[in-house]
Amino acid sequence: METTEVDWAALEAAAVSAMLNAYAPYSKFPVGAAALTGDGRIVSGCNVENASYGLTLCAECALVGNLQMTGGGLLRAFYCVDAGGNVLMPCGRCRQLLYEFRAPDMELMTTQGIKTMDQVLPDAFGPQHLEEPR
């Protein structure tokens, strides 16, 4: 369990910075996401859309790719913003993406304040289910 404080303002700034890189010509809804890793790195990502709309990559997809490409590890705190810098809730698919890489005490900034991963994705399916006998 980490004991140092989460710098939420730094995460917000990283999410806004990531959002400015978004490629969202179809929805015109740029998104940026940033997270603090267990070893103190900040990883981030933006949404990248596609002319074949269903292939759109959410900002969280880039974030977990960035996590893995920069040393791996787990996510301790998460912040996602829209074009106005307002807090954005991760979509359902992205909650699952984040769940895979959650630190045990992971927190997310939400429109209702700071919440745990378990609060935003209760009773989640995860790697543990692949290991348990059915």
**Which helix (H) or strand (E) is 101 found in, with range?**
none
Closest CB to ligand THU among residues 111, 128 = 111
Figure out which of the listed residues 18, 36, 60, 117 binds ligand THU, where binding follows CB under 6 A. Answer: 60
CB of 10 to ligand THU, least distance (A): 20
- Give the contacts of 38 (CB within 8 A, at least 6 positions apart): 2, 73, 74, 75, 76, 103
Closest CB to ligand THU among residues 31, 42 = 31
Figure out which of the listed residues 10, 38, 41, 56 binds ligand THU, where binding follows CB under 6 A. Answer: 56
> Concatenated DSSP letters for 53-76?
GGGPBPHHHHHHHHHHHTT---EE
**Site for ligand THU, residues 22 to 51, rule: CB under 6 A:** 24, 27, 29, 31, 47, 49
Closest CB to ligand THU among residues 27, 112 = 27
Figure out which of the listed residues 13, 91, 97, 124 binds ligand THU, where binding follows CB under 6 A. Answer: 91
Q: DSSP 3-state assignment of 37?
A: strand
Among candidate residues 134, 12, 6, the one with its CA nearest the CA of residue 80: 12
Q: Which of the following is catalytic: 12, 49, 60, 107?
A: 60
131 classed as catalytic: no
Alpha-carbon distances of 109 from 16, 32, 79, 127, rounded to whole Å:
14, 13, 5, 24
The Cα–Cα gap between 67 and 124 comes to 21
Q: Give the residue numbers marked as catalytic.
A: 60
Q: By the criterion CB under 6 A, which residues form the site for ligand THU? A: 24, 27, 29, 31, 47, 49, 56, 58-60, 90-91, 94
